[in-house]
Structure 1
Amino acid sequence: MVDEYDLRNTQSIEESVRHSDVVYNLIGRMYPTKNFDYEDVHVEGAERIAEAVSKYDVDRFIHVSSYNADSTSPSEFFRTKGRSEEVVRSIFPEATIVRPAPLFGFEDHLLHKLAGVTNLFTSNHMQERFWPVHVVDVGHALEAMLLDDSTASETFELYGPKNYSMAEIAELVDKEIIKHRRHVNVPKRILIPVARVLNKLLWWPTMSADEVEREFIDQKVDPSAKTFKDLGIEPAEISNLTYQYLQSYRSAAFYDQPPATEKEKREEKKFLHVIDDQ
């Protein structure tokens, strides 16, 4: 049975967790809205959940945070994620903290965003770097934590095996969908105020000002945190799964064309492509 709850209603949260053996907090926002900002969701919401878990003496609490969670970050998203970890640990010291890297999979905000025609503007020439991680691997890791009590009180950083820039992933996407998506670089001092205005005027999610800020922050790995290796999981590499998730973006002429083989990928690296714009 699924219980309905309101993140601002303590009683509804308590009703949802009081008979639980394990509670996962997967609640988060990539962008603020008129009803919930980052502080409401990441800090105050996490605090209420942790208090309810502690009140009813739930055995395990697994709090999903974010890569780069840091209470001193210039990004409000990362800053509130860092504060949420501090709040959760102060209330429930045995909580397991999980920091996933940018996720890819069905209906993600990485591959599908790059493949879409509306993802036009960027502000850092797509040079931010990170280790993209498969959502299925993160799911397996969360399940493993459920079954392993030794993960209590630990912090896990879950990231993929290879570091990419956003531009490199965009290139992977273009090759897979056999189309070229244009990206226009706009200076940060211009794009941030434009993003703020659009976020207030439009009811559907666009680029938020904080997303622009995050474009200038590379993923940093905490060497003291545990990883997939400690859970016996080998994470998948994004280039091996782009066909599975992006085939639907191809035109009818190329829809059934199989993905490039490993041999074809190696052969392509032997050639230097020169484009004459004159």
Structure 2
Amino acid sequence: MRTYMQDVTIKRKTGVPMVGRGPYGMGRNSVSGNVATVFGCTGFLGRYLVSKLAKRGVQVVVPYRDEDEKRHLRVLGDLGQIVPLEWDLRNDQQIEECLRHSDIVYNLTGRNYETKNFTFQDVHVEGARRIAEIAQASGVARFVQVSHLSADLNSPSGFLRTKAQGDQAVRRAFEGATIVRPASMYGHEDPWPITFKLNNGETKLAPVHSLDVAQALSLIGVLDAEAMGQTYVLPGPKTYTLRELLQLTEDITYRNLISPDINVPKWLFSMTAGLGEKIAWWPMFNKDEVIRRFIDENPEVPEGCKSWADLGIEPDVLEDRAIMYLRRFRSHLSYEQPMSNAHSGAVKLKKEPFRVIE
């Protein structure tokens, strides 16, 4: 196949040429010449990002810890376009091997709970710093760090506080790193919603579709040359209270989630969650998540940051996509019923506020 000048791109740091091949130089039947490593690819957001990148003809390195965790990623791209490599967050040699041929590195690693092997500090700060430093030393052209909308150095939540510390560590370790801060995401992997009522269900969230975030990340890493050193804040287009989200779920699934209207006190749930952390060997509702249930998500984009409009993306409204993910929780009697509130702004509360257990 004949190669033209427009098919050649020179890597920014190393000067190594990347040659695109195939129809239009982009797509599953093409090779764009880009190689991306996606750390954290086996998580909630990772599979969608790998799919978006592979669809653009990017060869994607998918680091994994468990053999079974990466099996579903192999079919997301053409033969040879998805390259699985085993890695460990504390093994510098394995990290270097995962990104040595890449010009784009994404760090999606994160934990919602701490374990005896990995704390929030280990994953969000030290792990992110280590990956960024090795990427800088290896001549990687682009580094994209995925954080959280509510990341704050002064947050009472260890999860959100270390997310902010990790952003700072990446900025220091990698010149021109891009920070992406999405709000709480929803998608197919969401479990049946936890219906425990905390903070009277008044905590505000700005949920964003995981597919939209994956699309934004693919544009930031591959196409948006102006993203160097920028911070992207990606909230959902609407803000809901937890009670409104439960009401929406109840309306779609025809199941009673809100009754009985009992609000669990913070001290009681925190004590129960702490006990669960000590006696259970599987991830449960933990004390830090109790703290996060009382923290509102602010959808306002700070001055100097970029958002959806800068990427040309209009994010999905939750009501318009909820039926895709909640229909499976209906009974067989109501499975085919149409969604009567499929338009934006359809959440209407029908019940009185929660009763509080003293």
> TM-score, structure 2 length as denominator?
0.70
Q: Which amino acid aligns with 2:264?
A: V
Secondary structure at the counterpart of residue 98 of structure 2? helix
RMSD, aligned CA: 2.1
Partner of 1:223: 302
Q: Output the CA distance in 2 between the equivalents of 1:104 and 1:52.
A: 32
| Equivalent pair of 1:18/1:52 in contact (CA under 8 Å) | no
List aligned pairs for 1:96-111, cutoff 5 A. 96-108=178-190
Count, aligned residues: 265
Q: Which amino acid aligns with 2:210?
A: V
Partner of 2:49: none
CA positional deviation for 1:82: 0.3
Q: Output the CA distance in 2 between the equivalents of 1:156 and 1:102.
A: 15
Partner of 1:53: 135
Partner of 2:207: 132
> Which among 22, 41, 45 is matched to residue 123 of structure 2?
41
| Match status 1:66 vs 2:151 | no
Q: Output the CA distance in 2 between the equivalents of 1:200 and 1:255.
A: 40
Secondary structure at the counterpart of residue 218 of structure 2? helix
CA positional deviation for 1:34: 2.2
| Equivalent pair of 1:66/1:78 in contact (CA under 8 Å) | yes
| Equivalent pair of 2:149/2:297 in contact (CA under 8 Å) | yes
CA positional deviation for 1:137: 0.5
Q: 1:254 to 1:60 in 2, by over 3 A?
A: same
Q: 1:122 to 1:207 in 2, by over 3 A?
A: farther
> Which among 244, 262, 267 is matched to residue 189 of structure 1?
267
Partner of 2:278: 200
* Structure 1 residues 8-50: Cα deviation after superposition (integer angstroms, max 9, x where no partner): 1111111111111100001001111222111111011101101
Structure 1: state its 5+ residue gaps. none
List aligned pairs for 1:106-117, cutoff 5 A. 106-108=188-190, 112-114=191-193
Q: Output the CA distance in 2 between the equivalents of 1:15 and 1:162.
A: 41
Q: Which amino acid aligns with 1:239?
A: E
Partner of 1:176: 252
Q: Output the CA distance in 2 between the equivalents of 1:217 and 1:227.
A: 22
CA positional deviation for 1:197: 1.5
Worse overlay, 61-70 or 198-207: 198-207
Secondary structure at the counterpart of residue 122 of structure 1? coil
Partner of 2:321: 241
Secondary structure at the counterpart of residue 24 of structure 1? strand
CA positional deviation for 1:93: 3.0
Structure 2: state its 5+ residue gaps. 1-82, 353-358
Q: Output the CA distance in 2 between the equivalents of 1:260 and 1:120.
A: 23
| Match status 1:84 vs 2:162 | no
Q: Output the CA distance in 1 between the equivalents of 2:210 and 2:329.
A: 20
| Equivalent pair of 2:301/2:307 in contact (CA under 8 Å) | no
Secondary structure at the counterpart of residue 125 of structure 1? helix
Structure 1 stretches of 4+ with a deviation exceeding 6 A read none
Q: 1:203 to 1:258 in 2, by over 3 A?
A: same
> Which among 241, 248, 254 is matched to residue 165 of structure 1?
241
* More RCO (CA 8 Å, sep 6+): 1
The structure with the largest helix share of the pair is 1
> Which among 140, 143, 151 is matched to residue 227 of structure 2?
151
Partner of 2:291: 213
| Equivalent pair of 1:75/1:210 in contact (CA under 8 Å) | yes
> TM-score, structure 1 length as denominator?
0.90
Q: Output the CA distance in 2 between the equivalents of 1:160 and 1:222.
A: 11
CA positional deviation for 1:193: 2.2
> Identity percentage over the alignment?
43
> Which among 197, 218, 232 is matched to residue 312 of structure 2?
232
| Equivalent pair of 1:133/1:235 in contact (CA under 8 Å) | yes
Q: Output the CA distance in 1 between the equivalents of 2:350 and 2:182.
A: 35
CA positional deviation for 1:2: 1.3
